[in-house]
Amino acid sequence: MTFIRRAVSAAAAAAVVLVAMSADFASATGGEQPYIAADGTIQGCVNSSGHLRLVEVGSACRSHEQSVTWAQTGQEGPAGPKGDTGAKGDTGAQGAAGPAGQQGDTGPQGPAGPTGSQGPAGAPGLAGVHVVTVSKNVAVLDVVDVAATCPDGEIATGGGWYLPSSDAQSYGSELHSNPILSGTTPVGWTAGFLNGGYEPYYTASVYAICAKTG
């Protein structure tokens, strides 16, 4: 029993040194070593004097030696305790706005919308537009009203007056010019004239622009 205890104690004392040496040896020579098993354990024999020698895997120790085995790498230790969570930091300042992105491609055309409701009927249109002209002579120093009226059922869309003779422009004077109304509907045009000395008279003409409605 004394031999066994001594052998085991000597093997344990030399284990650390031998592991480092075997690791350096394996690194220096490269490749697999015959005294290192597939699971990474190292095979050795120790005698009564505490001398340790390496042996090939599966080899038996001599009669005065004790077989010893140890691992190159120790077992993984337990996980350490989790550290305390630090306090939450303050919210940082808002960063500057980034540059505007490029304009995207035009999207596909959407489907046609439903047909809208029919709008209200428009105002009656005009038809058969024509001009009615009436001319009268204005004697010297005389005042004359000239009226051009549209046929029944028609309205006046405008009107005016003129003096056909160029000589009368110096003596003729237009006193008024305005539409003729039937209620609120214009139905003609009228103008008043004065002959200031054109002998024996001049001619004044009034016209109305007439049209049918509906």
Which DSSP category does 55 fall into?
Answer: -
Residues 179-213: tens digit of each pLDDT:
999 999 999 999 999 998 888 999 999 999 999 98
pLDDT given at position 28:
37
SS3 170: helix
Cα distance between residue 165 and residue 146, in whole Å: 16
Cα distance between residue 3 and residue 168, in whole Å: 163
pTM over 0.75: no
Among the residues of the chain, which ranges form H helices? 2-29
Q: Are 213 and 180 in contact (CB under 8 A)?
A: no
Residues 78-100: tens digit of each pLDDT:
887 877 777 887 888 888 888 88
Return the bridge partners of 195, or none.
Answer: 172
Residues 10-63: tens digit of each pLDDT:
444 444 444 444 444 444 344 557 878 877 788 888 888 887 888 888 788 987
Cα distance between residue 107 and residue 84, in whole Å: 53
pLDDT given at position 3:
44
Strand runs (DSSP E) across the chain, as ranges? Answer: 41-47, 52-54, 65-71, 126-139, 143-149, 154-162, 172-182, 185-195, 201-213
Cα distance between residue 144 and residue 196, in whole Å: 12
Cα distance between residue 188 and residue 179, in whole Å: 6
Q: Which tokens in the block code for residue 113?
A: 């919308």
Cα distance between residue 148 and residue 180, in whole Å: 9
